[in-house]
Structure 1
Amino acid sequence: MNNKYILLFFCLGILPLILSAQNRLNFKDGKFVIAQFTDLHWMPNSEKCAETAATLRAVLNAEHPDLVVLSGDVVTYNPAMEGWRRIVNLFEETKTPFVVTMGNHDAEYIAKDKIYDFLLTSPYYVGTKGPKEIMGCGNCILPVYDSKDRVKSLLYCIDSNDYQPNKLYGAYDWIHFDQIEWYRQQSALFTKKNGGKPLPALAFFHIPLLEYNEVIGDGKTYGTAEESIAGSKINSGMFASFIEAQDVMGVFVGHDHDNDFIGINKDIALGFGRVTGADAYGSLKRGGRIIQLYEDQRKFDTWITTPAGREVTYYYPSGLNSEEEQTMTYQPAVKVSAPKRGVAYTYYEGKCKRVAHISSCKKVKEGILKNISIKEAPETDHFAYEFRTLVNIPERGVYLFYTFSDDGSVLYIDGQPVVDNDGGHSGRRVEGKIALEKGFHELHLLYFEDYMGQELEIGYSSRNILEMALPDEIFFLPEQH
């Protein structure tokens, strides 16, 4: 192809489509499966290479992925080119499409440019060297198509670079502004082509972002967190760009061998792969992370697979997992003879600092609403509500409830406290989980407004229900009403 046309295609954002056409990635029966292997630390003369290769083959044979992502620190000793040949041969033997993002150690033995020159000789390599005009090597976008050749999902592969010389900024480099601008431009072009709707996307690179520190210990984080986040000390703005572009659902990295956790930060999943290489440090059983995308849905399931089998499945966007489904005690549904729609409420006036104080307030009126709401409160400060209703749960499962309130709120289901958002405070979101059988369940909500602002929203999600404020049709009156 003429160079001037290649330049034109790049400026128009079409280059990723052109370059991936010969190895097009496609959804199959509505699913697309990715295997992420990270930190192979392949040392060509090591006897442990056989163990690493066996791990790779075991996971490939068990999962049959549509794509493999090697997320850095792949070959980390000489003779390095021999190591790369052996790894590439494995994917050619298994006829598995693959892509590589660079780690901080890969270029210590062969220049990145030469690594990608070699990778591109393989008929199963689906990535590119990336634009020469931006930092790093291997920056590329892999579109995933449906059966009608329409792009349905995007995979961003980004070079997180390696080291930088100024120790004031920490040891590790970061994703640079020109890379971020490239991502933002490409994302905007794909969104525009999709009628203004961002395509569900994932991002893969090696070194974790600073934002990984924010999910440890969160109620929706699952997995092993045995070492501190060894990333750059500089916030590059990559995460903020993901939020603004609204396409990336999840980011998957490596680098920290004793971490394999995944959590959700501001609606973006931040996950580690499972260390794969037998010569790499770390105590975790070697394996790979599997990610299953769903066509036309902003969701994915992910789990770790080792030669011993699959581990716990994590569900995005709910942040729930299969271990909870199997171990939590499920609350039985209550029998309702003649259900009628609505929410029973009692309205109070008086000063409160905790929901326990509501009972000492003046009861002003009672009634029935279509939904839980404080919009009809005649006062702007110093009032409270008690809501009682039945919620009709559509299927057995673990449910994540939240309240966003100013001031305090406490949510009970079947008499159990599920969300404790109590106390005087400005608008704040708190979540809680409960396992429920299909059918009707008692919901009891206490809320008070002290002063300066009033707000209340209650919502839920499950493995198969995207998060939403509770709709009118879910509410039914208690039997005595």
Structure 2
Amino acid sequence: MQPALPRATALIAVTAFAASVLGSPFQAGPAYKPQLSLPRGRAPGYGPLRFRPDGTFHITIFEDLDFGENAWDAWGPQQDINSVRVIETVLDAEPHIDLVVLNGDLITGENTFLENSTHYVDQIVGPMLKRGLTWASTYGNHDNDFNISAAAILAREQLWPNARTTQMVPDPDAGVSNYYLPVFAADCRRPPGRPRGGCPPELLLWFFDSRGGFRFQQKDAATGQRVGQPNWVDARAVDWFRRTNAELVRAAGGRPIPSLAFVHIPTNASLALQEAGVDPHRQPGIDDDVPLAQQAQGWCADGRNDGSCAYGGQDGPFMQAVASTPGLVALFSGHDHGDTWCYKWDRLLPGMTVKGSGVNLCFGQHSGYGGYGSWIRGARQVVVSLEGLKDLKDLAVDTYIRLESGATVGAVTLNRTYGHDEYPATPNDKTSLPSDGS
């Protein structure tokens, strides 16, 4: 757990910067003004996120945990037990974690019951609670189904004081997990004589809800079937992101703020990069999910979801926003359990209308024993340093994957030369649920 500033000092620092953006008192109004105060009731003893005194900030990303699969069979609960072991093994192997990200598909919603569908959250976050770690979530397609909703998962998460997950775009049709978290310098204090000043963030963490799955407690009146939910980042969330980032940059004096972003379902740009070819030494990682499943898959451009279209293109506004945001180093996604690579999107790719500007599109590692596939479980680690954020023209972030075996694979530096530098190939190891239930 990162060392904490005295709570009063930490809150003064973040409050002062918030006031410089919003005025005082600061509230999120209809225009989705940036929310820089801690979400009410969230992580009260932890204060805002900060870099360590040595100038580093360490993120651990778990994804596709898929708890609650086939709870009526012995192997279902055993999967969840094994998934908890994965979480604990990774957390114990990484002694300097500052934030845990749960990047979607926390729960296998289609297998849950209405009465207790979100109770799996308690099992998922237990290892973080025991270690005094805070976490932030995005939600995935399996987190939305007839008996479960992203809103209900958020409510369950927020029963725990370590949760930083929140909702900053209030329109329910835009998804739930659209928000950001600022990360401040370790010595951030309210500068004397600047009642509306404060410390600008050194790093922004953006979280997006790619939705998908099915609408909560809704069935089609004609067919009796569940009602599908769009599986892309909504345009209203994209508009909020653009406006909020612009306001934060203005408040910071006009200099772009380095950032990372998290979303469960990857964009069509990831598919286009995969089709261009994944080099095992220049984009080290497993590349078994071919073709990968992108946002807007299975939808038509006119909004129909009847199985007649392969891809509707509705993730275009989100891709444009990602590509045009200065300082955005990487977008991390999950969803495709058999893909674990990072790829620099720096050109116009065949079949695309949006040109990449150098942002890195990364997958993590399938973390849970729920869900499809037997690839070895693990979690992507992201280590950001203030030194690596100094030069906006050559931002550098280190990342690797910690496996349930304790080994690390796929260590790379996401910098200006990533995609040209060569690294060791990632072995394609597999693990399975022990037949004896141990």
With the length of structure 2 as denominator, give the TM-score of the two structures. Answer: 0.68
The reply on whether 1:292 has 2:383 as its aligned counterpart is yes
Question: Residues 78-477 of structure 1: matches in 2 within 5 Å?
Answer: 78=112, 79-108=116-145, 109-133=147-171, 135-149=174-188, 150=199, 151-163=201-213, 173-216=231-274, 217=277, 220-227=282-289, 228-231=291-294, 232=296, 233=311, 234=313, 235-266=315-346, 267-295=358-386, 297=389, 298-308=395-405, 309-318=407-416, 320=418, 324=422
Measure, in 2, the Cα distance between the counterparts of 1:171 and 1:115. Answer: 17
Deviation, structure 1 residue 6? 5.4
Secondary structure in 1 matching 2:144? helix
Measure, in 2, the Cα distance between the counterparts of 1:174 and 1:56. Answer: 28
1:259/1:218 CA distance change after superposition, 3 Å? closer
**What is the count of residue pairs matched by the alignment?**
322
Deviation, structure 1 residue 182? 0.3
Larger Rg: 1
Secondary structure in 2 matching 1:60? helix
- 1:17–1:143 CA contact under 8 A, matched in 2: no
Measure, in 2, the Cα distance between the counterparts of 1:153 and 1:252. Answer: 15
Deviation, structure 1 residue 190? 1.4
Measure, in 1, the Cα distance between the counterparts of 2:229 and 2:59. Answer: 30
- 2:63–2:366 CA contact under 8 A, matched in 1: yes
Provide, for residues 402-443 of structure 1, a one-character-per-residue CA deviation record: whole Å limited to 9, x for no partner.
xxxxxxxxxxxxxxxxxxxxxxxxxxxxxxxxxxxxxxxxxx
Deviation, structure 1 residue 294? 1.3
Choose the corresponding residue for 1:69, options 90, 101, 109.
101
Could you tell me which runs of 5 or more consecutive residues in structure 2 were left unpaired when the two chains were aligned: 1-23, 72-76, 189-198, 216-227, 297-310, 347-357, 390-394, 426-438
Could you tell me which runs of 5 or more consecutive residues in structure 1 were left unpaired when the two chains were aligned: 328-481
Secondary structure in 2 matching 1:207? coil
Deviation, structure 1 residue 147? 1.9
Letter paired with 2:273: V
Deviation, structure 1 residue 90? 2.4
Q: Which residue of 1 aligns with 2:66?
A: 41
Secondary structure in 1 matching 2:410? coil
Deviation, structure 1 residue 13? 3.3
Letter paired with 1:57: E
Letter paired with 2:293: A
Letter paired with 1:177: A
1:174/1:32 CA distance change after superposition, 3 Å? same
Measure, in 1, the Cα distance between the counterparts of 2:28 and 2:382. Answer: 34
Deviation, structure 1 residue 60? 0.5
Provide, for residues 340-399 of structure 1, a one-character-per-residue CA deviation record: whole Å limited to 9, x for no partner.
xxxxxxxxxxxxxxxxxxxxxxxxxxxxxxxxxxxxxxxxxxxxxxxxxxxxxxxxxxxx
Measure, in 1, the Cα distance between the counterparts of 2:213 and 2:153. Answer: 18
1:237/1:299 CA distance change after superposition, 3 Å? same
Deviation, structure 1 residue 289? 0.5
Deviation, structure 1 residue 21? 8.3
Letter paired with 1:141: Y
- 2:32–2:168 CA contact under 8 A, matched in 1: no
Measure, in 2, the Cα distance between the counterparts of 1:94 and 1:18. Answer: 21
Measure, in 2, the Cα distance between the counterparts of 1:32 and 1:105. Answer: 30
Measure, in 2, the Cα distance between the counterparts of 1:184 and 1:287. Answer: 33
Q: Does 1 or 2 have the higher relative contact order (CA < 8 Å, sep 6+)?
A: 2
Secondary structure in 2 matching 1:237? helix
- 1:188–1:245 CA contact under 8 A, matched in 2: no
Secondary structure in 1 matching 2:202? strand
Moved more, 125-134 or 264-273: 125-134
**Identity score, percent:** 25
Measure, in 1, the Cα distance between the counterparts of 2:423 and 2:210. Answer: 36
Letter paired with 2:342: I
Deviation, structure 1 residue 179? 0.6
Measure, in 2, the Cα distance between the counterparts of 1:281 and 1:133. Answer: 32
Q: Which residue of 2 aligns with 1:24?
A: 48
Measure, in 1, the Cα distance between the counterparts of 2:130 and 2:26. Answer: 32
> Cα RMSD (Å) of the superposition?
2.8
- 1:312–1:322 CA contact under 8 A, matched in 2: no
Deviation, structure 1 residue 300? 0.5
Deviation, structure 1 residue 12? 7.6
1:7/1:26 CA distance change after superposition, 3 Å? closer
Provide, for residues 39-62 of structure 1, a one-character-per-residue CA deviation record: whole Å limited to 9, x for no partner.
001127321211111100011111
Deviation, structure 1 residue 218? 5.1
Measure, in 2, the Cα distance between the counterparts of 1:10 and 1:32. Answer: 33
Deviation, structure 1 residue 207? 0.6
Secondary structure in 2 matching 1:315? strand
1:310/1:191 CA distance change after superposition, 3 Å? same
Provide, for residues 190-216 of structure 1, a one-character-per-residue CA deviation record: whole Å limited to 9, x for no partner.
111222111111110111100002323
Moved more, 127-136 or 59-68: 127-136
Provide, for residues 255-286 of structure 1, a one-character-per-residue CA deviation record: whole Å limited to 9, x for no partner.
11111111100211001110011122113100
1:31/1:115 CA distance change after superposition, 3 Å? same
Letter paired with 2:343: G
Deviation, structure 1 residue 316? 0.8
Letter paired with 1:51: N
1:152/1:9 CA distance change after superposition, 3 Å? farther
1:250/1:8 CA distance change after superposition, 3 Å? closer
Measure, in 2, the Cα distance between the counterparts of 1:247 and 1:112. Answer: 29
1:171/1:107 CA distance change after superposition, 3 Å? closer
